[in-house]
Structure 1
Amino acid sequence: MAFGLSLYSLGWTAFLLPANIVSGGVSGIGALIYYATGGAEGGGIKIAYSYLVINVFLLYLGIKVLGGKFGVRTVIGIGMTAFLLWLGQLFIHSSPLKLPDERLLATIIGGGLCGTGLGLIFTQGGTSGGTDIIAMIVCKYRNISMGKMILLCDVIIIGSSYFILKDFTSVVYGYISVGVVSFAIDLVLQGTRQSVQMFIVSKSYDSIADRLSSEVGRGVTVLNGQGWYTKEEQKVVMVLVRKFETNQVYKICKQEDPNAFISVVNAMGVFGKGFETIKAK
Structure 2
Amino acid sequence: MVAVTKLYDGLMQRQSVKSWIYVLLGSIVLSAGFVLFMNPYKIVPGGVYGTGIVLHSLFPSIQVGTFGLMLDIPLLLIGFKVFGRMFGAKTIFSALLIPAVMNGMTYLIGENPSLMFGGNMDLSQDMFLPCIFGGVMIGTGTGLIIKSHATSGGTDIIAMLLTHYAKFRFSRAILLVDSTIVIFGMIVLGDWRLPLYSLVTIFVASKVIDYIVDGASYDKLLFIVSDRREEIREFILEKMGRGGTYIKSSGMYTSQEREMIFVVVSRNEVSMIRSMIHEIDPASFVVIVDAHETFGDGFKPFPESRK
Q: Identify the residue that residue 279 of structure 1 maps to in structure 2.
A: 299
Aligned residues of 2:139 and 2:206 also touching (Cα < 8 A): yes
Shift in CA distance, 156/268, structure 1 to aligned 2, threshold 3 Å = closer
> CA 1:83–1:267 in 2, change beyond 3 Å: closer, same or farther?
same
Change (3 A) 1:80 1:98: same
Distance 1:139 1:105, change over 3 A: same
Number of the residue aligned with 1:147 = 171
**Cα–Cα, structure 1 residues 50 and 196, in superposed 2: closer, same or farther, change >3 Å?**
same
Partner of residue 18 from structure 1, selected from 27, 34, 40: 40
Cα shift at 1:106: 0.5
Does residue 27 of structure 1 match 2:67?
no
Among residues 88, 91, 94, which one is paired with 1:77 in the alignment?
Answer: 94
Task: Tell whether 2:78 aligns with 1:61.
Answer: yes
Task: Go from structure 1 to structure 2 and tell me whether the alpha carbon gap of 1:154 and 1:197 turns closer, same or farther (over 3 Å shift).
Answer: same
Is 2:156 aligned against 1:132? yes
Q: CA deviation at 1:153?
A: 0.9
Number of residue pairs aligned between Structure 1 and Structure 2: 247
Deviation of residue 2 (structure 1)?
0.6
CA RMSD of aligned residues (A): 4.1
How high is the TM-score relative to the length of structure 1?
0.69
- Equivalent-residue separation in structure 2 for 1:198 and 1:139 (angstroms): 34
Unmatched segments (≥5 aa) in structure 1? 39-43, 201-205, 218-223, 254-261, 270-276
1:115 maps onto 2:139 in alignment: yes
TM-score of the aligned structures, taking structure 2 as reference length = 0.64
Asked if the contact 1:97–1:106 (Cα under 8 Å) also holds between the matched residues in 2, the reply is: no
State whether residues 13 and 92 of structure 1, in contact with CA within 8 Å, keep that contact through their aligned partners in structure 2. no
Unpaired stretches in structure 2, ≥5 consecutive residues: 1-22, 115-119, 236-248, 263-269, 292-296, 302-307
Greater CA radius of gyration, 1 or 2? 1
Percent identical residues: 28
Equivalent residues of 1:158, 1:175 under 8 A apart: no
Amino acid in structure 1 at the alignment position of 2:37: F
Counterpart of 2:91 in 1: which secondary structure? helix
Contact between 2:42 and 2:54, CA under 8 Å: does it hold in 1?
no
Counterpart of 1:257 in structure 2 is none
Cα deviation for residue 5 of structure 1 reads 1.0
The whole-number CA distance in structure 2 between the counterparts of 1:194 and 1:279 is 12
Indicate the residue corresponding to 2:183 in structure 1: 159
Superposed CA offset, 1:9-50 (max 9, x none): 111001111122111111111111111224xxxxx4101111
